[in-house]
Chain A
Amino acid sequence: MREFRLKDRVYFSDTDAGGIAYHRSYFDWAEHGRTEMLREAVPSHQQSALAEKDGILTVIKSIEIHYRMPAFLDDEIEIITSMGKVQRFSCMINQRIVRGSEVLADLVVKAAFIDRETKHPVPIPEDFLAALSEEGK
């Protein structure tokens, strides 16, 4: 399976009074990793284009995250993203946040597509489906 890697750093805005990266920051990093993977997989479809042309939004259905080690200010981190199972209405995405060879957190994310107006689920657009299934191989 293909992995998409995105480099980032732990900034002051990511940290809390406990002296470590705040647990919500991992959700933001993971979102950046998924977005950049999508942009690479389907270069013709920026998220804003998808919303305007087809009236489709991507939404998160569920996230399971396990925190393994704390991250600290200035850490260089990498977000590793790979596609899991792709279905008609939803897909699974596996993500790992690492600092060098250390695993900081593991996430399993379920994403779906909805109609922008009705907010009802819609099938994953054909070109997305093809690109995402290709990523998952």
Chain B
Amino acid sequence: MKEFLYKTRAYFSDTDAGGIVYHASYIDWAEHGRTEMLREMVPDKTQSELAEGDDGILILVRSIKIEYHKPGYLDDAITVHTSIEEMRRLSCTARQIVMRGDDVLADLKVGLAFVNAKTKRPAMIPDFIKQAYEEEL
């Protein structure tokens, strides 16, 4: 599948007293990467619009497996590579790689579940998202 790229930078707010990027900042960058992927796949709907109405959906994080390979530092130019590894009826898995140039800083697998925004019950992944995914394959 096509990779979606999200570029950011390691700001002071991402760093800790150890002089490196704090480990939870990668979780934020990954979320931004997934959001921008969704916006690119479904350009006519924002996340708030996706949640509207009786069929509105929310996307929940069910699990994360993250491996840290190298530390990130203040000022680093960061690129988050995001792709969908597996698409199922009610859930999908995203693979995300956080890079600084050619260096892999962290590697994530993120399990995502779709729920009805009102009832919070599991919901089928909407067809327009599946179609957008299939077009990217």
Contacts and interface: CB of A to CB of B under 8 A. Distances in A.
A in complex with B: yes
A23 B61 contact: yes
A137 to B, nearest CB: 27
B7 to A, nearest CB: 20
A129 interface: no
Contact of A63 (B60, B66, B120): B66
Given A67-B60, A116-B18, A62 B65 contact: yes
B68 interface: yes
A35 B89 CA distance: 40
B18 A65 contact: no
Given A66-B62, A67-B61, A116-B18, A23 B67 contact: no
Contacts of B20: 57, 59, 119
A31 interface: yes
A70 B60 CA distance: 10
Interface stretch (B21-29, B76-84, B123-131): B21-29
Interface residues of B, number: 23
Contact of B64 (A59, A65, A70): A65
B66 A51 contact: no
B67 A61 contact: yes
A63 B64 CA distance: 8
10 contacts: A17-B48, A18-B60, A51-B17, A57-B18, A59-B18, A63-B64, A63-B65, A67-B62, A70-B60, A119-B20
Interface of A: 17-18, 23-24, 27-28, 31, 48, 51, 57, 59-67, 70, 116, 119
Interface of B: 17-20, 23-24, 27-28, 31, 48, 51, 58, 60-68, 71, 120
